[in-house]
Structure 1
Amino acid sequence: MEKEKDKMEIKEELDTLEIQLARMQNNMKQIAKKSEVISIDRARDEQLVVIYADKKEDTFQLMLHDCNSSYRGKWHSAIQVEFKGDDTLHIADIKGEQNKGYGSVLMKHLKEMARDENVQYITGDIVERDFDHVHRLEYFYSKHNFDVQINHDEQHGAIIWNG
């Protein structure tokens, strides 16, 4: 009986993967009409995701859409970034669904883009509105090798990554 359960689990996983691949193909076609597709990756629980970017002269947004749902013009998670000179990217905001590993996937790709563009630093600010989740932010940035400085009394802080 245990072997039969394993076969059923495998069939379920294959069916799920097949659906994700079909959605990924369609999502990529839709995303590529408006944005630059950067990569396909896996988030937490082996979830397939499409990474894409909208670049402007001084800013860009790196976005992620999962392949469990059809793309309808909206991302599931995004990092908004500003260019500060030739050697620094400044994170203006990170938005989206939490606790799915999406922020980590986006951060990995942001750091890859920084290296590809020969950008040495990624910086950011922690502001008063962030203090309801400051410990989560501190953990997240530390996990991604940022130096995190937080003044809890004055409710502000800064992050810096030196590539």
Structure 2
Amino acid sequence: MNQTDVLKKDELKQELDALEIQLFRMQENMRKIAKKNEIISIDQTKHGGWVVIYASKVSNKYQIMLHDCWKPYRGKWDAAIETTYKDQHTLHIADIKGEENKGYGSVLMKHIKEIAEEENVQSITGDIVMRDFDHVERLKHFYRKHDFDVKIDYEEQYGAIIW
């Protein structure tokens, strides 16, 4: 066995160890999350990390949350998308919260779109408001990546999205 084979074997062992830790945490996290929320799915981020997706629905408000399986669940989500039903055919995104550039927003967006399709919601809307303008270009890229039409009024510092 040459040195390259030994390195590949070590890398593979490290990957398997990391996966085993994530799977153990996933099992523990799901048990804790399920006590208070509906678990929707498990998924992977763009970096390959496993996350638990869960939801809370109260009246016309629907929140999809995500917890990263690299750490134990202690009652707080790592990212969330908050929505409101404007009517039976329109879901309105009130806010997306969480750490940037982890892939959490994309995972949440995928699931909110799946829910919209399952519930026969025909459009998802949202507003880009003044407090968002320090990162408006990133938001514009994010929403376009997820097939939203994005209209921005830079002068008024307002925008609207629709899917």
* Letter in structure 2 aligned against 1:134: V
**Identity over the aligned pairs, expressed in percent?**
63
- Any residues of structure 2 matched to 1:100-115 within 5 Å, and which? 100-115=102-117
Q: Distance in 2 between matches of 1:85 and 1:44?
A: 33
Structure 2 residue 95 is the aligned partner of structure 1 residue 93 = yes
Per-residue CA deviation, residues 46-95 of structure 1 (Å, 9 max, x unaligned), is 10000000111110110000100000000000000000111000000000
Determine the structure 1 residue equivalent to 2:155.
153
Aligned residue in 2 for 1:61: 63
Cross-structure match for 1:116 = 118
2:42 maps to 1:30: no
User: How far has the Cα of 1:43 moved from its partner?
Assistant: 0.3
Q: What is residue 127 of structure 1 aligned with on the other side?
A: 129
Give distance in 2, aligned partners of 1:140 and 1:10. 33
Q: Secondary structure at the match of 1:13?
A: helix
Match of 2:47 in 1: 45
Aligned pair partner of 1:16 in 15, 18, 22: 18
1:74 and 1:56 map into 2 onto residues whose CA distance is 18
Gap runs ≥5 in structure 2: none
TM-score (norm 2): 0.98
Supply the AA of the counterpart residue of 2:40.
I
Question: What is the root-mean-square deviation in Å for CA atoms of aligned residues?
Answer: 0.4
Partner of 1:137: 139
TM-score normalized by structure 1?
0.98
Show the counterpart of 2:8. 6
Partners in 2 of 1:137 and 1:118 — Cα distance?
Answer: 26
- Give the drift of 1:45: 1.5
Distance, in Å, in 1 between the alignment partners of 2:67 and 2:103 is 12
Q: Secondary structure at the match of 1:45?
A: coil
5+ residue gaps, structure 1: none
